[in-house]
């Protein structure tokens, strides 16, 4: 790696790191921000993503010797004091360790689905716009071995900084593909022989009664609005039993309960 000390927060080499709290790099330059040791280790071991540079607080440099010694000779490691880090990032970066990453490969739903095993489990997300929920769903998907995640266009990007952080790196682990809408998801999954299920508080079948067989896809919608009726009419709807006087679970929490049931 190339250790590059920088003391000027306006240095052009730090442009990707400017004001990362407010900016969503994804969609503008095809790049994302990864934070902290755990996420960085996932990024560096990924076959689908690559790192372009590292920004590290000066006093944190000794603590990441194990990470940076594996990097290519010309990989840039920018080293800055706390004042420069905070000025560039736009907030107080406690962990003092950031990276800019990007995709190695283009995404394609059919290619992703055709590569999955016979007992594959896929999550289908419709209108999940909250970054915390998105990150938590990926974390749960990784914990319970979901093979891929499909997202409709109204979902937020899992590569948004906060979603990656909440996912503890799982947004870089579990393969995901953006699809036009839930009807296109349904057609693609049908082509590849998936049993499709919709999770809904009004589901016909209790999750406890559900037995997973073969390739399975589980749709999750947003709290409140839920999944479109037209979509639910096409498949078995599944509910999580809970107290009648309670409104509903958080969608990421619901994903964890369903994934745990379907796991193993």
Q: Which residues contact a second copy by CB under 8 A?
A: 38, 136, 139-140, 142-145, 168, 170, 240-243, 246-250, 252-253, 256-257, 260, 263-264
Do 49 and 172 meet the contact criterion of CB atoms below 8 Å apart?
yes
Spatial distance between the Cα atoms of 220 and 197, rounded to a whole number of angstroms: 9
DSSP assigned state of 97: E
Smaller CB separation from a second copy, 154 or 206:
206
Report the nearest approach of a second copy to the CB of residue 120 (Å).
Answer: 15
Q: Residue 195 or 253: which CB sits closer to a second copy?
A: 253
Residue 171 to residue 160: CA distance in whole angstroms: 9
Cβ-based nearer residue to a second copy, 139 or 186? 139
Shortest distance in whole angstroms from residue 240 CB to a second copy: 7
Smallest gap, in angstroms, from Cβ of residue 42 to a second copy?
10
Six-digit token pair at 23?
Answer: 């900016």
Pairing of β 148-151 and β 236-239: unpaired
Instruction: Give the number of other CB atoms < 10 A from CB of residue 175.
Output: 16
Residue among 168, 188, 175 nearest 145 (CA): 175
Considering just the CA atoms, what is the radius of gyration of the chain in Å?
20
- Compute the least distance from the CB of residue 35 to a second copy, in Å: 16
Tell me how far, at minimum, the Cβ of 126 lies from a second copy, in Å: 21
Using the minimum distance from each CB to a second copy, give the nearer residue, 91 or 263.
263
Shortest gap between Cβ of 260 and a second copy (angstroms)?
5
Tokens 């994903």 found at: 255
* Between 128 and 168, CB nearer to a second copy: 168
Q: What is the DSSP letter of 157?
A: P
Pick 7 or 250: Cβ nearer a second copy: 250
Strands 2-5 and 76-80: parallel
């Amino acid at each position: 790696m190339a250790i590059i000390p920088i003391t000027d927060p306006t240095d052009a080499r730090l442009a990707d790191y400017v004001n990362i709290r407010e900016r969503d790099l994804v969609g503008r330059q095809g790049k994302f921000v990864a934070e902290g040791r755990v996420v960085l280790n996932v990024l560096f071991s990924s076959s689908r993503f690559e790192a372009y540079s590292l920004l590290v607080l000066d006093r944190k440099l000794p603590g990441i010797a194990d990470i940076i010694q594996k990097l290519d000779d010309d990989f840039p490691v920018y080293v800055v004091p706390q004042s420069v880090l905070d000025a560039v990032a736009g907030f107080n970066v406690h962990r003092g360790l950031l990276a800019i990453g990007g995709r190695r490969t283009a995404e394609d739903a059919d290619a992703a689905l055709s590569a999955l095993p016979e007992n594959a489990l896929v999550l289908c997300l419709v209108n999940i716009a909250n970054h915390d929920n998105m990150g938590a769903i990926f974390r749960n998907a990784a914990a319970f071995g979901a093979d891929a995640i499909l997202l409709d266009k109204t979902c937020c990007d899992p590569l948004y900084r906060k979603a990656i952080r909440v996912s503890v790196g799982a947004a870089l682990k579990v393969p995901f593909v953006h699809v036009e809408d839930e009807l296109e998801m349904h057609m693609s999954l049908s082509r590849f022989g998936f049993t499709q299920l919709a999770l809904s508080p009004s589901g016909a079948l209790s999750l406890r009664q559900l037995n997973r067989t073969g390739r399975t896809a589980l749709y999750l919608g947003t709290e409140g609005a839920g999944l479109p009726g037209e979509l639910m009419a096409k498949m078995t709807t599944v509910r999580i039993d809970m107290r009648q006087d309670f409104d509903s679970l958080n969608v990421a929490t619901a994903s964890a309960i369903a994934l745990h049931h379907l796991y193993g």
